[in-house]
Structure 1
């Protein structure tokens, strides 16, 4: 059997030791360098049937407005700012927590925009969503948009994901459950979903975080776009998940819930 020379025996561990130096340096650099991610967590919930500061979230003129006793809570998530420096430790921590979500920054914020432009973009999306929510609700109720005027006000929240809740809030204020009662049945209902003028409900991001915010703030049921049922189930806790695809379906589900009838579930 041929034995290695003394020099040969020492060469391999020395080479391994030297190669570990740049690897350790690389890991140190990665750990300190900002990464192109955003970390999100459960955010605020707001009752669209209530007030935003001193003003009503939903103000209506041109038609009788009824009093409401329940709550319809839209839910937001909070993400780290576009220019925030996210490092490896933040990413690893987010991966191992159910109340955090690590997402590519470009999937949360439009690329190539300043913080100011991003804020303007999000507010524009919210305004478009509010217009669609108003159109969908008045169309559902068969009310003339030239006679009935709706003003929606919600500060510090951007994006289109409150559309469904805005539409439901308008319907509850104008028509309730259609039989003299509240559409909510007096309950605290939360939910999320975009809305189109024809009443189609669309999927949104961050559902797993939104269910946690809804349960934290005392909601008993959560309206979720049907395509995101499985995502919502993972963090729903004690929430009753109600899948929806249209505004009409959401109204019918809430009416059934208020009367103790059969309600769709995820």
Structure 2
């Protein structure tokens, strides 16, 4: 009876031993596989990092600043294409941002008379300031329409500092209003009269400046007038005088504003001395 029990337990021990051996072999296989793939991934990472650096060697800085396009020799199947493309975009953004920031304050100082910049103003700002343009010839007297007094100034400069336009237009020497409201309107004219020695032109001369409004009415309406009689110095080679006036007026959409003077031939069209402007008050 004892012999029979021992013989029956022997197969069970053999099966347990085989199962244990199978589990051990499986564990060894998993461990070896894990170590193998870990080493392979590490090598792939090192290779990829080296390829990234290799993609950047031999590059010219000027090439990196150019926009990346497929026509420039970078193909989608090129392993370096994605790296170079992203690098191009990043470098261009940084360089352009720094360039705009540096030149915002320097371009006006370096080239104040050669660069014309269009400034941006908030959408709600309605204003204009136009200045005399000494380089623009004034129209002859017989070209003016005589439905107002004086001679109309047309040689205004509007798109270079200190001039500007914001939601106001200028045409034929007239400011065009695009929104109804109460506006402060102003103008200054600078008179410069030269004398010929030995003549009697040094007598008092009447200087007149007038600001008109053009509406649907057939004739322009006079808004302001300033007149002075000035006696020029006998010792001066030329006489100088300026007239300024301003006031608040109700203007409607498409109304126009312009300035006339008594003698346009003695007007000095210096941008800091002769100007006209308007801005919306309410």
Query: Bigger radius of gyration, 1 or 2?
Result: 2
Q: 1 or 2, which has the higher strand percentage?
A: 2
TM-score by length of 2: 0.23
TM-score by length of 1: 0.24
Q: 1 or 2, which has the higher helix percentage?
A: 1
